[in-house]
Amino acid sequence: MTKTIKSKNSSVSEFEAVIGLEVHAELETKSKMFCACPVVDHNLVEPNTAVCPVCSGMPGVLPVVNQRAVEYALRVALALECEIAPVSIFARKNYFYPDLPKGYQISQYEQPLAVNGRLTILTSQGERHIPVRRVHLEEDTGKLTHVEGDEERYSLIDLNRAGIPLLEIVSEPELHSAEEVRAFAVALRSLLLYLGVNTGDMQKGVLRIEPNVSVRPAGSSEFGTRTEIKNLNSFRALEKSVGYEIQRQIKLNRQGKQVVQETMGWDEAVEETIPQRSKEEAHDYRYFPEPDLPPLVIEKGWIERVQSSLPELPLVKLRRFQEQYGLSAGDAGMLTANPAVADYFEGTANAATGLTAKSAANWITVEIFAFMNQAGVGIEDIEVEPQQLAALIKMVNNGEINQNTAKTVLVEMLQTGETAESIVEKRSLRQISDSGYIAELVKRVLEENPEQVATYLKGKQGLSGWFFGQVMRAAKGKADPQIVKQELERQLGEMDQ
């Protein structure tokens, strides 16, 4: 299949981008991959406090595989529709680097846990199935901190992260644009969240996505020289860096220059990829089967148990939300990206009768999301239960409070945890639907502003919004906006005759 990509210079480019992704996801087990050290947040905990002779590479120790790590890996592999190897083997990947205490990383090489899967992505072009080449288990490395003083430069090593179970997921190079790369990352992150195996936090490095990018003449089946981009800590950085790298390589091609095979970093400030300064030498990992570990045997029964325990997956939920609740693809996508948000939505939509799912979706994706972003919290951290949000929406639907008042009430609910009912009572925010009273307010506003009325009657219809604002102010924002509008129209209409 050939797809062309858009470039700045021409609507249809004569080049095609070819992108594959290598993803590393830490597995949220309680203990490490090959020893019982606790898995801790290495960004928060004191350095070197979750380390033992096994994960620090002391002599004479032996690794033992964490069963739950295998279970989590199976969940992901099955959700990606992979074939599970009945027997897979661990291998040593040898290289010397200070973050690797043993001098090798225990990984999988020739017989990985799972192969031949696929992930469905959604882009503006529609739906695509991206093949997944392999999924395998390995261990994370330690964390290096580089210190640059005036006089001296050195590095510090914290081994808390060393040995945390790591899942490597490799796609086939069948992505062709920055948008598709982002869509893959979004879909995979969602999947990991649903499976409860990873928090999806790219900022903290718990989920690391490394694209390798090359370009070739459109229609060619040969691959161009590829570069790899590392240290991307957000979807935005991922998408931007891939877009930049594609354009950079196309430009080199047009100039008849060679793309150099190298590892790139991403400079967030100038939004450019830059070659990493590290010495590039031929990788020579001298893989060989790990003599300290027996082959990993996955019996059919285990696969079946894991398969039957898989939750409803993101794409299935998205389709169901569209069908069951009549939501748009956009709303359904936003609500199903995170399983906690999806549960919250369903809790709200099903909490009360006479409440449309669409309105629940709106309140969550607009007001609740805005609050979460501002406060930097997840939906599981907010004070307002789905039932309480439903109660608020119901008050709007019943005409007890108007939309604007409801927004203010929700903010207070989110800040204090109080119910909508009690806030409305306490502040006497109940909507005024008494048309006689509203007619009085309208009359008073028109009498107090004869000049504006005259201008309006001369044909400046735009002033109706201003009158509306004045009436609402007189009503302290509590008047039913529909009735205010009708009443304004009626009284101004009468004057016009």
111 lines the binding site for another protein (CB under 8 A): yes
Binding-site string for another protein from residue 296 to residue 335, where x marks contact by CB under 8 A and - marks none = xx--------------------------------------
Among 59, 124, 270, 277, the residue binding another protein under the rule CB under 8 A is 277
Whole-number Å distance between alpha carbons of 336 and 8: 34
Among 8, 46, 269, 458, the residue binding another protein under the rule CB under 8 A is 46
- Which tokens go with 390? 């439903």
66 lines the binding site for another protein (CB under 8 A): yes
- Torsion sign (Cα): 181, 185, 186, 188: positive
| Count of residues interacting with another protein (CB under 8 A) | 55
Nearer to another protein, 55 or 471 (CB): 55
Nearer to another protein, 60 or 436 (CB): 60
Smallest separation (angstroms) from another protein to the CB of 336: 29
Closest by Cα among 424, 439, 423, 451 to 475: 439
> Which long-range CB contacts under 8 A does 484-493 form with residues at least 24 apart?
484/438, 484/441, 484/442, 487/435, 487/438, 487/439, 487/442, 488/442, 488/464, 489/464, 491/439, 491/442, 491/443, 491/446, 492/446, 492/453, 492/456, 492/457, 492/464, 492/467
- Which range in 255-263, 271-279, 390-398, 425-433 contacts another protein by CB under 8 A? 271-279
Smallest separation (angstroms) from another protein to the CB of 75: 14
Among 37, 121, 192, 423, the residue binding another protein under the rule CB under 8 A is 37
437 lines the binding site for another protein (CB under 8 A): no
Smallest separation (angstroms) from another protein to the CB of 136: 15
Smallest separation (angstroms) from another protein to the CB of 426: 47
- Which tokens go with 425? 């009572």
496 lines the binding site for another protein (CB under 8 A): no
492 lines the binding site for another protein (CB under 8 A): no
Whole-number Å distance between alpha carbons of 78 and 351: 33
291 lines the binding site for another protein (CB under 8 A): yes
Phi/psi at 416 (5° precision): -110, -20
- Which range in 27-35, 194-202, 216-224, 462-470 contacts another protein by CB under 8 A? 27-35
155 lines the binding site for another protein (CB under 8 A): yes
Exposed, middle or buried, 148 (CB in 10 Å: 0-12/13-18/19+)?
exposed
Q: Where are the alpha helices (DSSP H) in 105-234?
A: 178-195
List the Cα angle 249/254/257 in 5-degree steps: 70
Whole-number Å distance between alpha carbons of 433 and 323: 36
CB 141 within 8 A of CB 158: no
Element spanning 176, H or E: none
- Which range in 94-102, 249-257, 331-339, 378-386 contacts another protein by CB under 8 A? 94-102
Among 10, 83, 129, 144, the residue binding another protein under the rule CB under 8 A is 144
Binding site for another protein (CB under 8 A): 29-31, 36-39, 46-53, 55-56, 64-70, 87, 89, 94-98, 111, 144-146, 153-159, 277-279, 281, 284, 286, 289, 291, 293-297
